[in-house]
Structure 1
Amino acid sequence: MKILFLEPFFGGSHKDFALGFQAHSCHEVDLVTLPARFWKWRMRGASLYFVDQVKDFSCYDAIITTDMMDLTDFMALAGNNLPPVLMYFHENQLSYPLEPDQKRDFHLGFTNIISAFAADQVLFNSEFHFNEFIGEASRLIKQMPDLRPKWIIEQIRKKNRVVYPGCRFESGAIDLQNRDVKKPLIIWNHRWEYDKNPEYFFDVLSRLKKKNIAFSLALLGEKLDRFPKVFDRALEKFKDELLVYGYVESKQEYLSWLKKGAIVVSCANQENFGIAVVEAVRYGCIPLLPDRLSYPEIMPQDIHSKVLYQTKKDLMVKLEHLLLNYNTYLPLQKRLSGELEQFSWEIIVKQYDRILDNLKYTLD
């Protein structure tokens, strides 16, 4: 099949997903993208750009796009000879947590709802995310003053599938031996933004430092021009522990830090899948994650009590125990590294290709 992938926000997980699918799919995939900035304008205007850029949509067997698109505008403007459209939701504007001074724009959330309804196939990146979306969509529809289209929720359910995003791992066996057991390296590889809750993370580390618990620290992840000031304070507070501070451009350098890492911690308020955590665990980091969001879904259920925490105190207790008894966690490290190979693009892409094959067959 010949697939057209339209990505209105080509950065971060959106970019990784588009490039990963293009590289691993058995189909021929053409990418047309827009830079990852001005996201509200992308939702309003990306359809105009794509219609102008692509002169003939009928030469494709299917179109893939993501949640930063007003699909109804696009379908109206693209004409009658449009192939089936698959929409992938990385996030949505109904449940994404807001900064304290922000007010939710429900017009953008409603755009997500009617776009999901208009698509021929809808995919979400976790069960957690889909359930959050459906719950918030139902609540928004109930707020309408009249003519509430409650039936739209069931229509979206019927065309939805949950398929996890693929991760690009190195081929071959993973070396799990290269760890400092005296000062285990704690990895932060999330975006430097409010929704990843860095204040919570640094507060826990400060308390452990006061107790003279030894650790080293790698602060990785995407850093925008504006980022929470707590990172500036952390640069001074943890100067003796910090080995790296800031985003590393080279993928190989990034992976080299994951391979040295002992522990990856998330304190996120928003996470619909967790590629950063999955990558770190695959390369040998023991995870400590909140017992919510998508994390209970992607971690094996029988080890939830070891790797998921309920409260800040629970995180402190688990992290302290892990730092002081790291060697006892090595069997768990080996198990998790092996099990998370299931999220590699080589395995995951087969689900996407089958869905596209079935979509074309069903609609033909």
Structure 2
Amino acid sequence: MRVLALNAFHGGSHRAFLEGWISHSRHDFTLLTLPDRAWKWRMRHAPVTFASQVAAHPERDRGWDVLFCTDMLSLAEFRGLAPPQVRDLPSVAYFHENQLTYPTRGSDAERQRDLHFAFSNFTTALAASEVWFNSTYHRDVFLDGLAEWLPTMPDAKRLQLEEGVASLRARSVVQYPGIDESLICEREQSRGDEPLHLVWAARWEHDKNPDDFFAAARQLKERGIDFRLSVLGETYRQVPDCFAQAREEFADRILHWGFVSREEYRRVLAKADVFVSTALHEFFGIAAAEAIAAGCLPVLPDRLAYPELVQEEQAFLYDGDAASLVQRLVELADTQRREQYEAKLDQLREQIARLAWPTRAGEMDGRLEGAR
């Protein structure tokens, strides 16, 4: 099967998803991409740019069997501009995120949501033969958000926008992203009384709520708990001030700091005890899934997609504030208590192992073949 894949924001988890799938897929992909910056501009110009690239592509005469894109492309606009043999292909739109429920940031004026991009997500979903979401949580918050928002638009009832949402529910499925199978390995035996090694790995941005993590670390330090930190992730132009302060405050406890190579990331996870998330936004939780696969105990807020990821196991969830996070980490600093949690981790790791790319690619390949 020949697949034309369009990724208008080819970076981070969006890039890792397609590269992981393509490298394990039985299908033949033609991948066209745009850089992962200036996301608003990407959503505006990608249909024009991709339509031009496809029209001039050397593989155009051979044709493709199906079109695959992500939420960063306005699929309806692209189909209107693309050559007829591409315009009429069955299509799948994969939603890593959406602009209707994605958290805004900045001042009150800056936080004013640009709903034009949310409507582009809506028309992309309408234009697709199937809509894939990376979690049940994401599917539900997006479709429920549309059902709440669209009726407030002028002429909504006459335009039957609510019927459009109903049709999307019928064509929406959950397809979890895959993880690197090399992360799934046997763990070393218990490290005994060595300091608790905590990993926090996410984009260094406010929606990942690093303040709560460092506040919890500060309380652990004040209580005399011995621990080590690996604070990992990509940085962008604006980095929250708490990172510079924390690097100085916890200098004698930091093992790893900032962006690391993929190989180094695997080594860090293999030696860490606990993976912590404090995120205020997460549509799936790929870093948490990878850490669980590597054998880290997850400590995740009881919100967003995390309960789904750990199958509602309360041992791996905390109430979502710094105080409850501290309470859980104090428990895990006790070797005997930690072993009790580790006993529950084995079963969860078996479930997470099903996300390995060799398995997920085969399942997505099969679903793609059924797109009409």
TM-score by length of 1: 0.94
Aligned counterparts of 2:192 and 2:115: Cα–Cα separation in 1: 48
Name the amino acid aligned to 1:17.
F
1:342 Cα deviation from its structure 2 partner: 1.0
1:49 Cα deviation from its structure 2 partner: 1.1
1:343 Cα deviation from its structure 2 partner: 0.9
SS of the aligned residue for 1:166 comes to coil
Of 97, 101, 110, the match for 2:103:
97
Counterpart for residue 322 of structure 1: 332
Of 339, 347, 360, the match for 1:348:
360
1:57 Cα deviation from its structure 2 partner: 7.7
Counterpart for residue 77 of structure 1: 81
SS of the aligned residue for 1:9 comes to coil
Counterpart for residue 121 of structure 1: 130
SS of the aligned residue for 1:219 comes to strand
Q: Deviations over 1:100-150 (max 9, x none)?
A: 422100000011011101111100000100111012112221221223411
Aligned counterparts of 1:58 and 1:194: Cα–Cα separation in 2: 46
Q: List alignment gaps of at least 5 residues for structure 2.
A: none
1:205 Cα deviation from its structure 2 partner: 1.0
Aligned counterparts of 2:305 and 2:357: Cα–Cα separation in 1: 19
Aligned counterparts of 2:331 and 2:281: Cα–Cα separation in 1: 26
Aligned counterparts of 2:235 and 2:204: Cα–Cα separation in 1: 5
SS of the aligned residue for 1:138 comes to helix
SS of the aligned residue for 2:85 comes to coil
Please say if residues 176 and 284 of structure 1, whose CA atoms lie closer than 8 Å, have aligned partners that are also in contact: no
Please say if residues 275 and 296 of structure 2, whose CA atoms lie closer than 8 Å, have aligned partners that are also in contact: yes
SS of the aligned residue for 2:370 comes to helix
Change (3 A) 1:98 1:239: same
Counterpart for residue 252 of structure 1: 263
Please say if residues 183 and 290 of structure 2, whose CA atoms lie closer than 8 Å, have aligned partners that are also in contact: no
1:262 Cα deviation from its structure 2 partner: 0.3
Taking the TM superposition and a 5 Å limit, the aligned residue runs for 1:193-342 are 193-248=205-260, 250-301=261-312, 304-312=313-321, 313-325=323-335, 326-342=338-354
Q: List alignment gaps of at least 5 residues for structure 1.
A: none
Give the count of matched residue pairs.
357
1:31 Cα deviation from its structure 2 partner: 1.1
Aligned counterparts of 1:179 and 1:216: Cα–Cα separation in 2: 13
Name the amino acid aligned to 1:334.
D
Change (3 A) 1:67 1:256: same
Name the amino acid aligned to 1:289.
L
SS of the aligned residue for 1:287 comes to strand
Give RMSD over aligned pairs: 1.6
Change (3 A) 1:259 1:173: closer
Percent identity, aligned pairs only, is 37
Q: Deviations over 1:200-221 (max 9, x none)?
A: 1111111111001111000111
Aligned counterparts of 1:64 and 1:176: Cα–Cα separation in 2: 41
Please say if residues 342 and 348 of structure 1, whose CA atoms lie closer than 8 Å, have aligned partners that are also in contact: yes
Counterpart for residue 157 of structure 1: 169
Change (3 A) 1:172 1:94: closer
SS of the aligned residue for 2:9 comes to strand
Farther off after superposition, 138-147 or 12-21: 138-147
